Amino acid sequence: MTKILSVNAGSSSLKFKLLEMPEETVISEGVIERIGSILDEDDNATIKYNGKKYSERLEFKNHESSIQYLLKKFTDFKIVNDFNDIKGVGHRVVAGGEWFNKSVVATPEVIEKIERLASYAPLHNPANAQGIKAFSKAMPNAIQVVVFDTAFHQTMPEENYLYGLPYEYYTKYGARKYGAHGTSHRYVASRAAEILNKPLDELKLITLHLGAGASITAIKNGKSIDTSMGFTPIAGLIMATRVGDVDVSLVDYIKEKEELDDEQMMNVLNNKSGLIGISTISTDMRDLLEVEQTNHHAKLAINMFVDRVAKYVSQYIMELEGVDAIIFTAGIGENSSPIREKIMNKFNYLGLKVDKENNAKRGEEVQLSTDDSSFKALLIPTNEELAIARDVVNLMEKD
């Protein structure tokens, strides 16, 4: 038995899950919020272990101090005897560019490249690098492994990842589609193959990672051939606060009319658009569904979200030349039966029928389509932490 820690260091948070491998048993999990800033009323450090939940209201100056706190609690609560019980740490990193098409051991050279890719994911990569450095310092005997969101999408063909820009911008600056959520798409696709009892390399799948951040991926023979997010996670679907696909000329037009500089405009596109921008009331799909029948803006935001999802799925069915299954995952995908039904109803004309009893379920693996549907719809909760832990173990065995 080997203890593996999967971590996701965000710009101001640290999420973690400690697993016993290869049994894949969760020992402890939790989150530390608002690192480097003043806490809001509900922001606590939360640790779950042995069926208990521990919550403490503390402020942390940086990721290193939050990691020291976390490791101390592991020993205080006897989750581990000492830090050396944890043999490996897997780090989620958003942007790996074209340098990384698989998970790798964290070396100084790897960390340097992660930092150099900061412009590809400015809110994530710098924090990811800080987390790797801090854990490496605190746990020098544990193998540190980097798992990239973009790696899974490195199998896309040129015609799908390039933009219609001068080709030299790609060769000089890496201007292309990279996608995101690759670890999630990879995990649920693999799990779908197990559920369908078919080899992954014989399936055509479309995975719908629908949450505050949302993306859709077309997977053929186990490989990503297209995905909705672009050079950065801002592109593709309408999301909680992100605009999704938009005419770049319109961006310049709004900048001029509103007298915004580049940073202010990017803030609008990343943080004030999407569901909150359209609905004007909430980033949360649950809030919008509650008032859908009485609030025009809420209904409009829902309809636009569903419409964009359906358009991408339709496009990917064409690219795949058919589909064996579509898979719903992440916050909205796993928990919002009304949104799932609205999306699936868009494909009634293709012979997809909703199993209403199964679709009423939340957060558990289930077939959402009827047995006589032309293709299957599945609900598969994502487990990026488990996928990360598996990658750590694989690299430990090769080391």
- Give every strand in the sheet of 25-32, ordered side by side: 52-56, 45-49, 25-32, 14-21, 2-9, 86-93, 143-148, 104-105
Cα-trace Rg, the chain = 21
CA distance 352 to 59: 50
Structure-token pair, residue 338: 């009304």
261 in catalytic set:
no
User: If DSSP codes are grouped into helix, strand and coil, which group holds residue 223?
Assistant: strand
Structure-token pair, residue 221: 């023979």
Specify the residue for token string 């020993």: 75
Beta-strand pair 376-379/325-329: parallel
CA distance 209 to 271: 19
CA distance 216 to 206: 7
- The neighbouring-strand residues paired with 208 are 216, 328
112: left (phi over 0), alpha (psi -120 to 50) or beta: alpha
Q: Choosing from 43, 149, 226, 391, which is the catalytic residue? A: 149
User: If DSSP codes are grouped into helix, strand and coil, which group holds residue 74?
Assistant: helix
CA distance 346 to 327: 15
* CA angle centred on 34, ends 78 and 58, rounded to 5°: 50
**Catalytic residue list:** 149
